[in-house]
Each structure stands twice: as C-alpha cells, then as structure tokens.
Structure 1
Amino acid sequence: MEETVAIVGAGMGGLSAAIVLATSGFRVTVIDAADGPGGKLRQVTAGGRTFDGGPTVLTMKWVFDALLSRCGTALGDEITLKRCDVIARHYWQDGQRLDLFADIAESRRAIADFAGAGEALGFQRFADDSARIYRLLERSFIDAARPNPLSLSARIGLHRPSALLALKPFSSLWSALESYFTDPRLRQLFARYATYCGSSPYLSPATLMLVAHVEQAGVWTVEGGMHALAQRLMQIAQDFGVEFHFGERVSAIDRDGSAKAVRGVTTDRQRHVPAHFVIYNGDAAALPGLIGQARPARGGASQRSLSALVACGPALPAGVPLSHHTVFFSNDYAGEFDAIFGRGQPPADPTVYVCAQDRPAGHDNSGGADTGQAERLYCLMNMPANGDSHAYPESEIDRCLSSMQRRLGKNGLTLQLDRTALSITAPDQFNQLYPGTGGALYGRASHGWMASFQRPAAPGPLQGLYLAGGSVHPGPGVPMAALSGKIAAERLMADRVLHGRSRPAAITGGMRTRSATADSSPSQ
C-alpha cells in the first residue's frame, strides 16, 4: 500500500519535506490556509504593484542545490539568480556610509577607508573566526538532527577543546565584537547579525558570528522576487505528484484510537485527510492547539523573537543612494533593543532596513532612480512580538512610520511615503498570519548559550508526527527552514525503517510526472 504524508503548511520547510518524500516514493498532500505557497515568503500588493513581503535575502545556495539534486536538477537551472556584489549598504547619522562586499578584500579596503587600518585588520580576524565557527557547525549542528551540548561536543571532538572554545558560546555577540572593533559603528553593523534570527545582540551568543561567513559565501537575488523561489519549488514538487490544497486551514491533527499516533488531519472545511504520517510546518507555539493539548501560558512570550513593522509601497527616494539592501542605523542601538525586549514597546529611534526591490545589488542608480518614477520599496523596523495581546491602531502605526522616516532623514535619505498606497503589516497582523506567535517571525529568541538547543527537534509529541519550519531546529531563515524540512523527512523515513516497514521505491529525476517547465496549478 502506498504510504501517505500530510504536510501542514507550504512554507519553505513544508516544500522541502514534500520534495524529499515525493522523490522517495511517498504520496504527499500539502495543505495551507494561504492562497499560495511560501509561508513567510509571501507577496503583498501596494499601489497596484506586487512586492516580496517577507524575507528578501537568499543565502546558503548549497542547501537548495542539494535538495534539488534529488530531482536531477539544481537551483540555477530552475530560477534566475544573481549574486550580489554589494552584500549591503549601511548609513549612520549625516550620511556616513559603508558598503560590505562579497569580496572580503574589497570589504577590508572599504573598512580601512571608513575607519582606519586597525579596524580593517580587526575585520579580517572577525571574518576568519566567523568562517571557522561556520565550518565547525555546518555538519555537526546546522545540517544535522538537533544535538544536545554533549552530543555536539562529541561531533566536533571532545579531544579538540580549542575548537569548542572557538564557538564562543558563553560570550554575547556584542561583547565579542569589542575584541575585533573599537569603532562603535562597526560593532553596530556586525551586531545586526543577531537580528537575522530575531534576537538582541546584547543577549545572543557570539556563535552568531557565523552569519557573516554565510553572507560572504554568497547573497543572491531571485528574478521575480523571493516568492518566485517558493512557486518554483511547488511546481517541482507537483512534477513528482505532490498535491497542494490552498485556502484551507488545518484545524486538527487527528489521532488514532490509542491517541498516541497520528492518522491524518482535519481542515476547517470538516474534511478529513487520512495519512500515515504528518509533518507540521508551522510555528511550534501553535501545535498544542492542533493536537488537543492546552496551549502554554503567555509566560512563554518572554522567549519570543522579534516581530516587525513592514511597509511596502511605491516611493521616490532622494538624498543618499540606495543599494538593493540598505540599513539605516539608529543612534541608540542599546535603547532600541531595551525598548523591544525590556519594555515590549516599539523603539522611538529604530534601525530601518530598506529593500529597493527594483535595484540590482551594488548599483547606486537603477530601476526607478533612472526613470524618475516611484520604485518598489520595502521598509522594516524591529518590533516586540506582542501581537496577541496588543492591537496596533492607525495612530500607533503612524507614530512608527514617522519614527522610521525621521531616522532615514537623519541618515541622509528623504522618503515621502504615501500612506494610502502602502501595504503595512504590524505584529498583530503577523500574529493572525502565523497563529500562536504573537507576531514573532523567528520562533524563540536565541538568547543565552542554551537557546539553540531548546528549539524543538524534528520528532513531534505523537508517533508519526514531525516538525519543520523556522521555529524548530536548525532555526529561522529561508535555507535553515528548508533544512528543517529535509531533516524532518529523513527522520520520518529512518523511523519508518526502524519500525520494520519497507521503504517505498524512490523516484529518480528522470521520472517526473510533468516536465520542469510545465504549467502546473495547485489543486483546490
């Protein structure tokens, strides 16, 4: 009998798991409440134009190449990618500017011009150490079933104490940066890597330095936007027979008579979808309600990662030139995170990230800037994840937008936003999109050296239930969520063999049910 898997959620983890399982011979059904794939890789419409409304950065391309090798293809054969020459542009008060480049030597020269030769040497040490941390963790932690501290130590090598200490687990990212940089602007720049997993650089471990190496290894833009990646992965999964049902929310994960094992899912249309296995690709905070357990008390809110206020819309920027990715830093970085994590309030002086979605990375003038017409801009400020307990009325949204525009102006960018033409998402709306989160976009915050070990692992609390997504191991981010789906699928298959069931016949890349370029629309 063909074995079936129901996947709850068509985010990156669900898409990855679907491809792994379908190419291994399972019959897979994916159900999602949204009207299309991607999860947080969503699209929004503003001013009559479409925008990426979620993640805007693609890194760790090897994750997707490895995933698609199961299908006889590679990421660059399926979508059009362009590697960014400029990783990001950064501005401080009065237009002080520093670009980070894909080439380390070019970044070192830029830092020397910006802050002096000593800081450039500090950057080289930082780059070397971040690469070392990444290499230590890539196979032992990132692309592996979730270890505990002891098993991680064993994987790295208990006989290599210098390697374990190189991870800097007991230092905060901010304090570690003080050993590399004396210029506070550079500490602020590289401390921002903590926010990539929704955390404060003052509370998260220095291990997050590895993000610097991830970026140096390649930052990519996707033709058609990041949402196009999700669309293409869905189409590839469909080529291998995966069925997708959108606009249908899973209301319960069903148990068998023993109440210890799954037997499928029920949707809000009162439709039962039988399945031998279930992969839950949603935030772990919402899982208890789906399996009939009491939800945890809101005390868990103190462990949540950052939320955000995201404003997308057409605008005509003036003043300092934008790159594809541009960051405008606050004058009070510590105060920004104290407001969010300490007081649960929007920061009065936020750091603002702007993605100019019509601009190739590294060009001062392109897209709308060449034509004199408004271009597509995505503006983000960090916010507390309190969207389940605090509503954000228009007056508060207006204050946040004004704070963003003030910071942009102080750092040299004049940006007049037509608020009637904006798509705005605040923490309460993110909580509606991703139930149980309060609007947290990265699962739990990576605060303290144990935080990475406290994310849920792939095996769920019921037999036959597995977890994927950014709130579980190995963590948030597009490639990490994809890895979580792969890990969940591989654990499902390993458990299946362990319990004496034969493995289904794998489907090779030459046996797609449809061609890679076929027009395949999701099942409704």
Structure 2
Amino acid sequence: MSSQDTVLVVGAGIGGLASAALLAARGVPVTVVEAAAGPGGKMREIVAGGVAIDAGPTVFTLRQVFDEIFADCGSALESHLTLTPATVLARHAWGDDRLDLFADPAASEAAIGAFAGARAAAGYRAFRAEARRIFETLDAPFLRAPQTNPLGLTWRMGWRGLTDLNQIRPYETLWSALGTHFDDPRLRQLFGRYATYCGSSPFLCPATLMLVAHVEAAGVWLISGGMHALAKALEALALRHGAIFRYGAPVRDIVIERGRAAGVRLASGERIDAAAIVCNADPAALAHGAFGAAARAAVAPQPARGRSLSALVWCANGIARGFPLVRHSVFFARDSAAEFADLAAGRVAADPTVYVCAQDRDAKTGAGAGGSERLQIIVNAPATGDTAPLTQAEIEQCTQSMHATLQRAGLTLELPEEATVLTTPSGFNGLFPRTGGALYGPASHGWAASFRRPGSRTRIPGLYCAGGSTHPGAGVPMAALSARLAVACLLKDRVSTSQSTRTAMPGGMSTRSAPIVASA
C-alpha cells in the first residue's frame, strides 16, 4: 500500500466510521487510527454491573441517511442490524402530569388535545407542518450540501431563496416561536427541549431548530443490541472493503509538509504517511493544539463561551419503581427559564430536567423490564470540564436534584454504586480533549451559528473534518452526513490533484501541481 494513495481517518466516531466505509467502498486504501479500544466515539458503551449499556446517543432517526450509506457500500442496513420502529416516541412528565408523543401524528395530536385542549391540538398541527416545511426547505441545499454562507444558501434555494430563508425563522428564538403555537407553558417546554438535541438553549437558538421535531416525528427506530451496534455495523462495512483499524493508537501530531497534510505521528512515536486525512475529532481540538502546533491553522479557534452543553450521565444496571417508564422518558424542571439561566451562568441547574433511557423496554409500550434494567440518565451541564470541574459536593447536589425531579413524577431509581458509572463534563473532556466536555461542538445560538460551524475542508490542503461538531451539525444522522460531505470533497480534490501532478516536459523541466485552495 502506497502512502501516496492512503487516506488516514483519525477517530472512529460515526463520522470517521462512515468516512472509512464510503472511501474503502470506492477502492481507496483507508487506515483508521483511534485512541480508544474500539469504535463508536461518543456512541460508546460502558459495562456497569456486568452489563453493557449505551453511554452515548440513544435515539436513532433519519434512517434514510444510513440506508443510503450502506447502499453506496454495496450492502443494506437491515443486513447488519435489526431495527424496530418505536410506537411511543417519548413519555413526558411534569410532576403528576403526563403526555406521550407517538409515531402516529394523529395519536400525538389527540393526546395533546386531551392533555391541554383543542386549541393546543390545533397548535400542534400547525407546529408540525411548520417543522416539516423548515426541514424540507433546508434538507437539500444545506444539510446535504457543503458549508456555505447566507448568500450561498439563498442562491441554492433558487428564485424563492429570500422568501424561503425568511420562512425558516432564523431571526426568532425557538422559545419565542413556540409561543405562537402553544399557550400551555408545558408544551412550550416540551418542544423547546429539542434545542438540547444540539446542546443549545431554546432561549438563544433560532426557531429554525423546529426542524428537529419533524426529524423525530418522521420516525424513531430501536436497534437490537443498542446504538453501539450501529458503530460496530459501520466498522464491519468498512472492514469488508479492506479498511484497516488500529485501536489504542492516539495521535500526537498531524504532520504538515509543504503546506499540506502528509500523515500522523502516534503517541508511540510511529509515523504513518498518507495522501489525505479525515479528522473525526472536534475541530476545537485541532484549533487548540491537540494534534500539534502545525495543525492549529486548520480551523479558526472556537471560544469557550460558544461551546454547546455537556452533561452528567449515569449509566447503571438499576431498578426503577413507580413511574411507568418507556424507552425514552423526560422529566421536566419546574422553570425552564431558571434552568437555562443556571446553565448559561456556568453551573448545573438547581432544578434540572432529567432524561431517562430505559434500554430494556420494548418498542411499543415500554413494557418488558422487570427487576434490574439498563438505564442511562442525563442531566445537562455547562461545558467547563477543563476550566471549572465540578466538585464532589456539586456532583452530590446534582445527583440529589436529579432524584428529586424524578420523584415529583413518582419515579424512584435504585442505582447501586457498584453497578453505576457516572461521567461528568471533566470526564468527557478527558475523552474528547480541548472541548471542556461539550458534546455537540459549538452551540447553535444566534441566526449565524450554523454558518460558523466548520465545514469539510480545512485551511490545510489534504486535511478534512467530519463529525457532529462540523457542518451540518450535531446528531447521529448529521455526523453521517458530514462524512458523506467530507468524502465528496476529498475525492473531488483527489481527482483535481491527480490531473495536475508534476509531469515531465519534453526537453524541459517539470511543473508544479496547481495549488488547492481550501474553503470552509
């Protein structure tokens, strides 16, 4: 294998795995180097109480994105995974008040009507239609296309560009826009929570993020074996086409020679040469020197104040009593404004919203668990794991607040110490250096946030970025889309470079290859 042909993928998260599979399926020699012992990145699993528990993303949406990747690699998603559609999308609780959302939109509308009245049901119908319109407006020209600026997006939208751009409501906050659909503060709180899917605040992010509601309403799938099985399936797909995986191989430096990426140097001192590199790490790690001084110029530095949220995540083989959990259950804080004000001030909320994933509950009703079951519990936290790690007292207070929120709804969790693993923002910063523990890259605050997110190409030729911290954004399907975009850019540049390589001129001298201009 020649280093002149090899592509190195740094990191085996979803973006890196999808990049490796897509490149290998096209006959490109690929080597993946990963610091961890196995694939997945944030889509990891933890052994607690003798059982493997998903410790990262828990919701699988936009299945079509992965159907397309597996098809492009000559396979089918269902050949690798057993998928079951969820009938109940999530159960929501405000103390004694409960509301389920369903895969069937008519069932969700009826449930909202019974919960908050006919006006609320009509508001949901209008909200769902608007969320779908925003998603469909942005899907092809933004989510599936390279990073651009507002003018570029307007041009891609065609002759209705300015009209369509205004209709995605980029200049209103999500919280404000939800007020036009819902009078009931509980419903505003419920749908405002979609901002946290990309680690943001509904009081600061644009109303455009209503599209997340459409993504979830379009279908949630449960994966047999858990979400980590998706990472293993992508690894198998890449291996099938000849990709090489090297685990336990942290990268010390990305080697830059003659102004372009030329390989990596591992922590062991070994150098691996390559024609190009796909970096599946948070671009903040590049910008702040985690991959060496020379690679810092690849992307613009990202201020800590612009980070997305982190979290405290408990993974436990525990016992749930009282409240009838489904696979996905959300227990809301009493005051959203106070909750997000605490987070914005750099502290864990005194009265937090709590998400519980009960991984052993079935796809339809949530029934099936008995005795000990696999649980993942999430409380949002500021991404200050590098500068202001939580003290033990703060962690204990957050744990008590988490249980208090659950107990208001009648849920008691028994989380045995020997069967529970807690990851804090400082723990996430250790896993994903130079991020402070931010789990979603930069926060989506303000109308321009999506345009400031790093794109596939970096400022260094031959070095590309993929993952949920790059364009088009956070989330499992978005990370996979970023891989598709990175691969398309790399292959396009590869052809351009090969067409302009140094050639011998009769009776004369060789000419240099044309320089490649990097774009964001």
* Identity in percent: 49
**CA deviation digits over 1:389-437, x for unaligned, max 9?**
1223433222111110000001221223223421000000000000010
Q: Does 1:29 align with 2:28?
A: no
Residue equivalent to 1:519: none
The correspondence of residues 487-498 of structure 1 with structure 2, limited to 5 A, is 487-498=485-496
Residue equivalent to 2:293: 292
Residue equivalent to 1:332: 335
The correspondence of residues 321-360 of structure 1 with structure 2, limited to 5 A, is 321-341=324-344, 343-360=345-362
Residue equivalent to 1:464: 462
> Which amino acid in the other structure matches residue 472 of structure 1?
T
SS of 2:317's equivalent? strand
Residue equivalent to 1:117: 118
SS of 1:87's equivalent? strand
**How far, CA to CA, are the matches of 1:345 and 1:297 in structure 2?**
27
**How far, CA to CA, are the matches of 1:166 and 1:361 in structure 2?**
35
Q: Which one of the candidate residues 77, 81, 91 is aligned to 2:79?
A: 77
SS of 1:382's equivalent? strand
The correspondence of residues 252-401 of structure 1 with structure 2, limited to 5 A, is 252-256=253-257, 258=258, 260-288=259-287, 289=289, 290-293=291-294, 300-341=303-344, 343-368=345-370, 373-401=371-399
SS of 2:414's equivalent? coil
> Which amino acid in the other structure matches residue 217 of structure 1?
A
- Aligned-pair CA distance for 1:361: 3.5
**How far, CA to CA, are the matches of 2:73 and 2:498 in structure 1?**
27
| Contact persistence 1:87–1:361 (CA under 8 A) | no
- Aligned-pair CA distance for 1:317: 1.3
The correspondence of residues 31-70 of structure 1 with structure 2, limited to 5 A, is 31-70=33-72
Residue equivalent to 1:179: 180
- Aligned-pair CA distance for 1:480: 0.5
**CA deviation digits over 1:77-113, x for unaligned, max 9?**
21000111011100002x2100000111110000000
> Which amino acid in the other structure matches residue 314 of structure 1?
N
Q: Does 1:237 align with 2:235?
A: no
Residue equivalent to 1:15: 17
Q: Does 1:3 align with 2:5?
A: yes
> Which amino acid in the other structure matches residue 262 of structure 2?
R
**How far, CA to CA, are the matches of 1:432 and 1:217 in structure 2?**
35
| Contact persistence 2:223–2:229 (CA under 8 A) | yes
SS of 2:47's equivalent? strand
Residue equivalent to 2:130: 129
The correspondence of residues 411-490 of structure 1 with structure 2, limited to 5 A, is 411-490=409-488
Q: Does 1:98 align with 2:96?
A: no
**How far, CA to CA, are the matches of 1:344 and 1:103 in structure 2?**
39
SS of 1:317's equivalent? strand
- Report the TM-score when normalising by structure 1: 0.92
1:266/1:298 CA distance change after superposition, 3 Å: closer
1:332/1:464 CA distance change after superposition, 3 Å: same
Which segment is superposed worse, 98-107 or 293-302?
293-302
**CA deviation digits over 1:25-68, x for unaligned, max 9?**
21000000000001000011111111000000111111111111
> Which amino acid in the other structure matches residue 33 of structure 1?
A
> Which amino acid in the other structure matches residue 223 of structure 2?
V
- Aligned-pair CA distance for 1:364: 4.4
1:327/1:361 CA distance change after superposition, 3 Å: farther
**How far, CA to CA, are the matches of 2:269 and 2:499 in structure 1?**
31
Alignment length (residue pairs): 495
**CA deviation digits over 1:239-298, x for unaligned, max 9?**
100000001101111012x2x111111101111111000110000001131141569999
1:299/1:84 CA distance change after superposition, 3 Å: closer
**How far, CA to CA, are the matches of 1:122 and 1:158 in structure 2?**
30
**How far, CA to CA, are the matches of 1:194 and 1:79 in structure 2?**
29
Q: Which one of the candidate residues 407, 422, 434 is aligned to 1:409?
A: 407
> Which amino acid in the other structure matches residue 88 of structure 1?
A
- Aligned-pair CA distance for 1:236: 1.1
In angstroms, what is the RMSD of aligned CA positions? 1.7
- Aligned-pair CA distance for 1:502: 9.5
| Contact persistence 1:325–1:361 (CA under 8 A) | no
**How far, CA to CA, are the matches of 2:183 and 2:500 in structure 1?**
60
- Report the TM-score when normalising by structure 2: 0.93
**How far, CA to CA, are the matches of 2:31 and 2:341 in structure 1?**
43
| Contact persistence 2:155–2:161 (CA under 8 A) | no
**How far, CA to CA, are the matches of 1:333 and 1:471 in structure 2?**
26
- Aligned-pair CA distance for 1:486: 1.1
> Which amino acid in the other structure matches residue 235 of structure 1?
A
- Aligned-pair CA distance for 1:320: 1.7
**How far, CA to CA, are the matches of 1:367 and 1:415 in structure 2?**
14
**How far, CA to CA, are the matches of 1:32 and 1:192 in structure 2?**
33
Residue equivalent to 2:509: none
1:420/1:396 CA distance change after superposition, 3 Å: farther
| Contact persistence 1:255–1:261 (CA under 8 A) | yes
SS of 2:428's equivalent? helix
**How far, CA to CA, are the matches of 1:431 and 1:297 in structure 2?**
20
